[in-house]
A and B are shown apart, each in its own frame.
Chain A
Amino acid sequence: MMRLAWLWAAAASLAADPLAEFEKALDAQPDSMQIGSEYRMAVIRMKEHDRCIKFLGDLAAKHPKAPNLHLNHGFAYVDKIPVAGSITQVLLANTALGHFGKSIEAQPTWIAHYTRGNAYLFWPKIFKRMPLAIADLEAAMKMQKADKKRSYHIRNYISLGDGYWKNEEPDKAKATWQEGRKEFPGNEQLTVRLAKSPAEMDALIVEVYDPNKRVDTNLAELWKQQP
């Protein structure tokens, strides 16, 4: 895929409505993960979340079998969470899960499973979403082990371990983090997790999966890794 970072700069400087340039591009390539991701990054900067959600929703209705479009549509809801009220956050998160599910239905990719599994991790334990998180993240793990090693696979070792921890399976969590450290030696996030006491780890989980903090939903790492 071609790099479109230039598009944002060009659009911002030239157009009164820079988001329209992205929308035009997405109309032409609705399932482009890259255009969709860069569109959302622009939306975050411009705080035009509702516009983005509507645009991607309309587009997804026209292209129901486009997995990356559903993924970006789901992320559009995630992107709005930090600026929403506490109840609206729940509704946005739940809606995002639905769109991630549509992405998996359309094409069960690593990124879709990882994304949905990781999204479940933000849910408080009381809502019993951890088994769902683990199922998705294990599916992604299976895929990544069948794939060639990619730098972003480290994320799943972290998330799956966190899922096990949150699901009160500390041995599995540590084993997953240790396996990840073997695959990706020196990774600081894994090292930190493996060094923490149970209480410290619980606190870290609360800190990391705080819905009030913005999650980095920029997918650029994916296409940077394209062979």
Chain B
Amino acid sequence: MRRARAWWLLIPALAALGNGPPGRVRFAEVGEKAGVRHIHETRKFQGKHGDVLGMFTSGGASSAAGDFDNDGDDDLFVVSSDAGKPNKLYRNDGGLKFTEVGVAAGVTGGNDPKSIVADAIWFDYDNDGWSDLLVARFGTPVLYHNERNGKFKDVTAGAGFNKFGNTIAAIAFDYDRDGLLDVMFGNYFKPVSLIDLTTTKVLPNDLDNAVNGGGVTLWRNTGGGKFVDVTEKTGLSKQSGWTLDLGHGDLNNDGWQDLYVACDYGTDRMFLNNGDGTFREVTEKAMGFDTRKGMNAEIGDYDNDGLLDIYVTNITDEYMKECNMLWHNNGDGTFTDVSKETNTCNTLWGWGAKFGDWDNDGWLDIFATNGLRSASKENYIPVLLEAIIKPNMEFQELASWPAIGKMTWSGYQKKVMFRNVGGQVFKDISAEAGVDNDLDGRGLAVADFDGDGLLDFYQTNADQPALLYHGQTQGAGNWVQFKLRGAAANRDAVGARVSLKAGPLSMIREVDGGNGYSGQSTQWLHFGLGGAQQMGQIEVRWPDGRKEQIRAEINSFVRIEEVKGGPAKVSVSKNR
């Protein structure tokens, strides 16, 4: 644990700011110095279709921020995808220094000859107070139990995760509010092995309305380290899209966790939780059917109206003008895409994108990764065009697609950071913030890794080194961070909501279990407070709906522990 920066307390000028002039958002890339310069490697497929399969599976560069050793700060689990390549576990030693402990912890495996690691999440499945680790794969997942001594034990065999899936996304949340975290997988391809092909018709059957993807599966945690497939029972089995990301949150403020499913090659889906162990699809009524390339499902209240909104990246480039979707929650069961109006439409070939209040002004900003494949000067797009306009091209057939070789496809794209201006419009500050790298980005893990009150983030890239951006915004606002611990609720308190008033600001944050493509962010709830010098009402709504008020101080870390039958235990500290 480290002390919060003293200068936060020494800038009286902030007191005069109200929630006014923003700080100058600035990040420094410190990945090398911090010791987290992991180089992801995508799976190299063999055989005559290897090139095309590699092209279609170039996701999977993931990371997950979580405190596996319970020392108060967020560590990083980072995956590889190529055969035999190890995943990494970076232990946060403080002061933005990390030590790789994956081998000692026993969590480097997963990229065996038949399986491809593609995502990972921390979650405390057995409520023992220690974060366990789930590694999602094109294959079957791997579940590691945290043995509390820096080591993990593979408990997959007894967990029941026995169904093959080409999983690209995983989240953990308590859909039935039984106090145990359940697991949902988003599956890209249908459940066939891409390594031992039994058919070459494995690609999307339509590039705008594909229905032959892997859909989703939901696994209920029944306790004792066991999970049961409840996909059909919960009403989620009809979704057959090419799922790329999953997001959960209480979208209609009824206290139950709802779902957004982002699908490549076609329609994203929204499901509301019925509160009885089932979901109902509301896509058509809530937002209509889209034909875009849904890449990301990030959930947050960008306009501070007390309703969770959704940010979805799609593909926008010279040759394809899809535009992202910023779904504004209208509060009546409908959502309106305001990406054009808010200037969040174009982040090129989108991947993971996350909300985060980079300048602590009380408004959620955005950082969006992008870029598919940066290689030679030769561009794959004209080659691809000639293929797809051939009469009767069979899209799902591997042999229909031209090899990409060393060609570039939507590569060398500058990453995009948007500053939220009062919940109405976003301003592109990528270059001035120092984050406009042009690597082939995939996922993001956002956390205050050094405990200085400013959010940092880790950007994973396909076949390229990862980046750690340290928040160094000058003149940022005050802040507060909350870490919730469930008792009746799941121990991670996933699904709990904190509502906070500070000055004119009124904000909500929910603890999520892995929203956003290829990256799990911290479970510390971070609030920027602008120039507010004290906080008004702070309310915690636990996953079971019970609400209680707590008190806290600005520029502090607040731990809130649920107590069954009594008020929560609250501890406030200037450092973690």
B-binding residues in A (CB < 8 A)? 84-88, 90-91, 94, 124-128, 210-212
Contacts and interface: CB of A to CB of B under 8 A. Distances in A.
Interface in B12-37: none
Contacts of A125: 318
B292 A124 contact: no
A94 B392 CA distance: 13
Interface string B384-400: 01001100000000000
Contact of A90 (B209, B315, B318, B388): B388
Nearest to B319: A124
A203 to B, nearest CB: 13
A90 B291 contact: no
Nearest to A128: B382
A214 to B, nearest CB: 14
A13 B376 CA distance: 61
B385 A88 contact: no
Contact of B318 (A94, A126, A128, A211): A126
B291 A86 contact: yes
Chain B CB count within 10 A is highest, among A85, A91, A94, A210, for A85
Given A86-B291, A90-B388, A126 B207 contact: no
B153 interface: no
B388 A124 contact: no
A212 B322 CA distance: 9
Given A125-B318, A212-B321, A90 B208 contact: no
Contact of A94 (B207, B209, B389): B389
Please provide the 7 A-B residue pairs with the shortest distance between their CB atoms, ordered closest to farther.
Answer: A85-B208, A85-B291, A87-B207, A94-B389, A124-B319, A86-B320, A88-B208
A63 B15 CA distance: 79
A90 B390 CA distance: 11
B385 A86 contact: no
Given A87-B207, A88-B209, 18 more contacts: A84-B208, A85-B208, A85-B291, A86-B208, A86-B291, A86-B292, A86-B293, A86-B321, A86-B322, A87-B208, A88-B291, A90-B388, A125-B318, A126-B318, A127-B319, A127-B382, A210-B321, A211-B321
A148 B426 CA distance: 52
B291 A84 contact: yes
Interface of B: 207-209, 266, 291-293, 315, 318-322, 379, 381-382, 385, 388-389
A101 B74 CA distance: 62
B404 to A, nearest CB: 16
A126 B410 CA distance: 12
Nearest to B318: A124
A187 to B, nearest CB: 28
B207 A88 contact: yes
Contacts of B385: 90, 127
A133 to B, nearest CB: 16
Contacts of A211: 321
A156 to B, nearest CB: 26
A14 B382 CA distance: 49
A160 B315 CA distance: 30
Nearest to A88: B208
Contacts of A88: 207-209, 291
B347 to A, nearest CB: 15
Nearest to A83: B291
A217 B437 CA distance: 43
A50 to B, nearest CB: 13
B238 to A, nearest CB: 21
A124 B320 CA distance: 9
Contact of B292 (A85, A94, A127): A85
Contacts of B379: 126
B208 to A, nearest CB: 2
28 contacts: A84-B291, A85-B207, A85-B208, A85-B266, A85-B291, A85-B292, A86-B208, A86-B291, A86-B292, A86-B321, A86-B322, A87-B208, A87-B388, A88-B208, A88-B209, A90-B385, A90-B388, A90-B389, A91-B389, A126-B318, A126-B319, A126-B379, A126-B382, A127-B381, A127-B382, A127-B385, A128-B382, A210-B321
Contacts of B207: 85, 87-88
A169 to B, nearest CB: 19
Contacts of B388: 87, 90-91
A86 B315 contact: yes
B109 to A, nearest CB: 38
A85 B318 contact: no
A183 B291 CA distance: 44
Chain A CB count within 10 A is highest, among B266, B319, B388, for B319
Contacts of B208: 84-88
Contacts of B318: 124-126
Contacts of B293: 86
B495 to A, nearest CB: 34
Contacts of A87: 207-208, 320, 388
A107 to B, nearest CB: 24
A94 B291 CA distance: 19
A91 B388 CA distance: 8
A143 to B, nearest CB: 28
B249 to A, nearest CB: 27
B387 to A, nearest CB: 11
B11 to A, nearest CB: 40
A204 B385 CA distance: 25
A216 B379 CA distance: 33
Nearest to B389: A94
Contacts of A126: 318-319, 379, 381-382
Contacts of A90: 385, 388-389
Nearest to B266: A85
A17 B337 CA distance: 35
B339 to A, nearest CB: 13
A116 to B, nearest CB: 16
A84 B379 CA distance: 25
A125 B379 CA distance: 13
A85 B389 contact: no
Contacts of A212: 321
Contacts of B209: 85, 88
A91 B293 CA distance: 17
Nearest to A210: B321
A128 B382 CA distance: 9
B283 to A, nearest CB: 16
Chain B CB count within 10 A is highest, among A86, A90, A124, A127, for A86
A126 B322 CA distance: 17
A212 B339 CA distance: 15
B269 to A, nearest CB: 16
A212 B385 CA distance: 19
A87 to B, nearest CB: 4
A90 B317 CA distance: 14
A105 B320 CA distance: 31
Contacts of A210: 321
Nearest to B393: A91
B241 to A, nearest CB: 13
A18 B389 CA distance: 33
Contacts of B321: 86, 210-212
A94 B385 CA distance: 10
